[in-house]
Amino acid sequence: MIEVPDFCGMQALDAWLLGHDLGLLLVGPDPDSPEPLMHGIVTQQKPLPGTTVARWDPVTVWVRRDDSGVREPLRPLPPRRADSAFFDED
């Protein structure tokens, strides 16, 4: 028997990997969803943390998608408009 940990607040992929390492199967609320359970933050789970379940029993998790993505500055920086106007006057 395995005690279900608290997956809430974890990245979905990290929660899935932890569950797998413990012998649990993390699944989303819709098993037919085309989206894999890999992206976002776990917001809810069933069964609740501390519940004892059998090995490889499913743990349903709800995930809030984080669509912010990586926002890195462009390199090299694009030319400034004021700089290009100066050179266009010739």
What is the number of other CB atoms lying within 10 angstroms of the CB of residue 39? Answer: 13
Instruction: Report which of residues 32 and 70 the model is more confident about.
Output: 32
Residue 60 sits at φ, ψ, to 5 deg, of -85, 130
Span 6-62, pLDDT tens digits: 999 999 999 999 999 999 999 998 877 777 677 889 999 999 999 999 999 999 999
Domain span holding position 13: 2-66
Tokens for 57, please give them. 């029993």
Number of domains in the chain: 1
Tokens for 31, please give them. 């098993």
In a domain, residue 80? The reply is: no
**What CATH number is attached to the domain comprising 48?**
3.30.10.20
| pTM of the model as a whole | 0.69
Whether the upstream peptide bond of residue 47 has omega within 30° of 0, thus cis, is yes
In a domain, residue 73? The reply is: no
